[in-house]
Structure 1
Amino acid sequence: MSTDPIFRTSPYQRETESRVLAHTPEGGIVCAASIFYPTGGGQPGDSGRISWHGGRLTIATTLKGEGDTCVLVPAEASALPPVDSLLHQELDWERRHRHMRVHTALHLLSVVIPLPVTGGAIGAGKGRLDFLMPDPPEDRDAIEAALNAFVDRDLTVSEEWISEAELDANPGLVKTMSVMPPRGSGRIRLVRIGQGRDHVDLQPCGGTHVARTGEIGHLRLGKIENKGKQNRRVNIALDI
């Protein structure tokens, strides 16, 4: 049993219809296809609404299920859509789009601060990366200016796929020390920012992203926190 990840191939799709494959013991819903991104890689699971003949539910979040399935988690206990029924999915688009903007911005932050990443988190309007950084950066304004320069260049954001063997041969593609790319399918998804002379970043990632950096909007650099002898946490936020 598997779920077709529409969120990966069509991240801007806000609605779809799909058959219910199963219910989980905890009261979740597994569908044949999903526009809802499941929690993973520091990005929260999507929320939204589902409806079917005779019922409607609010979805609080989405999780990874067994195998290659996505589990839609209702906001409250209620009657679930019957297995094999046709389900209409409607994404909380504003929240998802903010996740996409922040996620892409964090990729840019990893370019501006070219140090190993030890952790990260994405929110609906803000995010952070933890870096292997013994000393704090000397010029905060320069970091913020460099981030917004990448945004203003309106670089394209695209994806490509390589084999696991190709990734093993190019370990420098992996910037995050705490989260390794998922393996087992034989393929690894890469997210590229910029093309040709404008290329600035290429790294494994399974999350959702905007199509161009200009869509992120102006960014603000937040606190730079000391998280141990070797680690610094760098926070960023969307202006709007």
Structure 2
Amino acid sequence: MVDLYSWLKNAVETELLYLDNSYLKSAVASLLDYACDKPGRCYLVLDKTIFHPKTGGQASDTGWVKGEGFKFRVEKALMVKNAVAHYSRLIEGEVPVKGSKVALELDWEPRYKAMRLHTAGHILDYAVMKAYGRHVNTLEAQHAPPNAYIEYDARNVSEEVVEEILREATRIVEEARRVNIFWVSWQELSSRIYNAPNLQRLPRTSRYRIVEIEGVNAIPCTGTHVSNTKEVGRIKILRLEETIRGLKLYYDVD
């Protein structure tokens, strides 16, 4: 069993390529280190990655790490401190030496679905706010199939409220609004965000990545997103569940 925290607590920070370009399907990186918990099952640490780890309500990407004479199947990516550990199964060849150049390839279809779902989640945040006529915080979220959901600090849901949420979300998708990604400092944050939930839980850091759906909301977020709401497709509200804390909304896109 690999103690990931002890191993990676002083590791070099992984460059997260998806933060600036969610559409990257492949890239070249260097293998910095690895640790195997059983033959052919290894955690790979690279200098850069296109694989989004399981974090921020988004599931881990999967795909391939390949090189001269070897091929790994990436089954999950985990964020440990500032490094990403790619848990991988050796399919061909032998574990390469540290410093080897590797080719990264995403499983694009599930990644693109995650991008559409995550952007749909931001749209739903706004639609819920409009339907309730007040600021509504999110309590928990999972932007991943087969059970994507957002839990809101809201109650007293009615059929009319659900219809208003769906109507507003559909309008935003059909208006084909641009989705912008930009970075701001702590000092700039308050003037660049709007209609953003959960700000009281936002940690203090030197800079923030903002995902803005033009005219809808601008939210601190490290997830992957589409560049236009039209790409989201049709948002479907599958079911609603009342919880101890509020309301859990299950949704999908097609």
**Normalising to structure 2: TM-score of the pair?**
0.83
**Structure 1 residue 221: deviation in Å?**
0.8
Q: Is 1:145 the counterpart of 2:167 in the alignment?
A: yes
**Structure 1 residue 208: deviation in Å?**
0.5
Structure 1 range deviating more: 142-151 or 70-79: 70-79
**Structure 1 residue 97: deviation in Å?**
0.3
Q: Which runs of 5+ in 1 are unaligned?
A: none
Distance 1:122 1:43 in 2: 5
| Code of the aligned partner of 2:125 | S
Distance 2:203 2:44 in 1: 23
2:212 matched residue in structure 1: 192
| Code of the aligned partner of 1:192 | E
1:130 matched residue in structure 2: 151
Report the identity percentage: 24
2:54 matched residue in structure 1: 39
Question: What do the CA deviations read for 1:34-74 (whole angstroms, capped 9, x no partner)?
Answer: 111111110011100111111111101111123x2211111
Q: Is 1:236 the counterpart of 2:236 in the alignment?
A: no
**Normalising to structure 1: TM-score of the pair?**
0.87
Structure 1 contact 181–188 (Cα < 8 Å) conserved:
no
Distance 2:179 2:225 in 1: 7
Correspondence 1:1-240 to 2 at 5 A: 1-24=12-35, 26=37, 27-66=42-81, 68-75=82-89, 79-114=94-129, 115-124=136-145, 127-139=148-160, 140-167=162-189, 174-176=196-198, 180-181=201-202, 183-184=204-205, 186-194=206-214, 199-228=215-244, 230-239=245-254
Cα 1:171–1:238 shift into 2, 3 Å: closer
Distance 1:28 1:164 in 2: 34
Distance 2:63 2:91 in 1: 16
Distance 2:89 2:176 in 1: 37
- Structure 2 residue matching 1:105: 3-state secondary structure: helix
Structure 2 contact 70–90 (Cα < 8 Å) conserved:
no
**Structure 1 residue 138: deviation in Å?**
3.6
Distance 1:189 1:7 in 2: 12
Distance 1:122 1:3 in 2: 23
Distance 1:182 1:150 in 2: 29
Give the superposed CA RMSD.
Answer: 2.4
